[in-house]
Amino acid sequence: MRIVLLGAPGSGKGTQAQLLVKAYGVPQISTGDLLREAVSRGTPLGLRAKSAMDSGKLVDDATVLGMIRERLAQADAAKGFILDGFPRNIAQAEALETLLAGLGKPLEAVVLLNLDLGILFKRLTGRRICQTCGQVFNIFTSPPDTAAHRQKCGHEPVLIQRPDDKEEVIGKRLEVYDAQTKPLIKYYTAAKLLRVVDADAEMGVVFKSIQDAVRAAPVNAA
Ligand code: AMP
């Protein structure tokens, strides 16, 4: 399986990527996660990326492409991958195409998680992450059950908000998605790789749609 999960921030790419990892045994490659890790380790790359991330802008292509090149060269990516949050613009998509053509492993599908803007906003402003175990909650739609969490993870949920999930940054992230990432819908439609999935449903239902979409023939999106 060599796929891209495409969608606005808050469309559920990370959650669905984790389900795909479990089902297909291929790694999730999330540029957002890789960048956040570099920021928290204080590496030169992380220091370079931090201000763009905190303000909801894209990190420069050279940095992100270097990171992706390195990650795709690791042994576990030889059997396939789920790209989550990459590519984010046409230049990155073109670079990815060249990179994968060089490896003789082209993309098999690009799955668009389609969601209304109002729902995206609510998902992002409500998103909270348990600082201890990384589990993702939403204070509006899936708040933590303290007792259940303690039983499952052995600790109380300690909820934090990603700095870029703050309301003032979310607007910028959605604007960046519209201007830079949305054109990929046309790009991958033309490449006959795009499949569109309705992401406004329960997690398991969306997952089933993704599985069906990956098997089905490509369709065009508006
Ligand atoms: P995400 O977790 O995918 O929403 O990414 C969080 C932030 O990391 C984004 O708002 C960007 O600042 C940065 N980022 C993640 N992926 C990319 C990418 N492919 N290109 C540029 N910046 C990225």
**What is the residue-level pLDDT of the chain in tens, covering all 222 positions?**
999 999 999 899 999 999 999 999 999 999 999 999 999 999 999 999 999 999 899 999 999 999 999 999 999 999 999 999 999 999 999 999 999 999 999 999 999 999 998 888 888 899 899 999 989 899 988 899 999 999 999 999 999 998 888 888 898 999 999 999 999 999 999 999 999 999 999 999 999 999 999 986 554 443
Ligand 1 atom nearest the C-alpha of 52 is: 12
Mark whether 88 is an active-site residue.
yes
Residue of the CA atom closest to atom 2 of ligand 1: 32
Could you tell me if the CB of 88 is within 6 A of ligand 1?
A: yes
Could you tell me if the CB of 29 is within 6 A of ligand 1?
A: no
**Spatial distance between the Cα atoms of 216 and 89, rounded to a whole number of angstroms:** 25
Cut 0.85: pTM above it:
yes
Could you tell me if the CB of 12 is within 6 A of ligand 1?
A: no
**Spatial distance between the Cα atoms of 59 and 50, rounded to a whole number of angstroms:** 8
Residue position matching structure tokens 């239902």: 205
The strand pairing partners of 195, in sequence order, are: 111
DSSP state letter for 142 = B
Q: Are 172 and 56 in contact (CB under 8 A)?
A: yes
Reduce the DSSP state of residue 5 to 3 states and report it.
Answer: strand
User: Residue 207 has which token pair?
Assistant: 């997952």
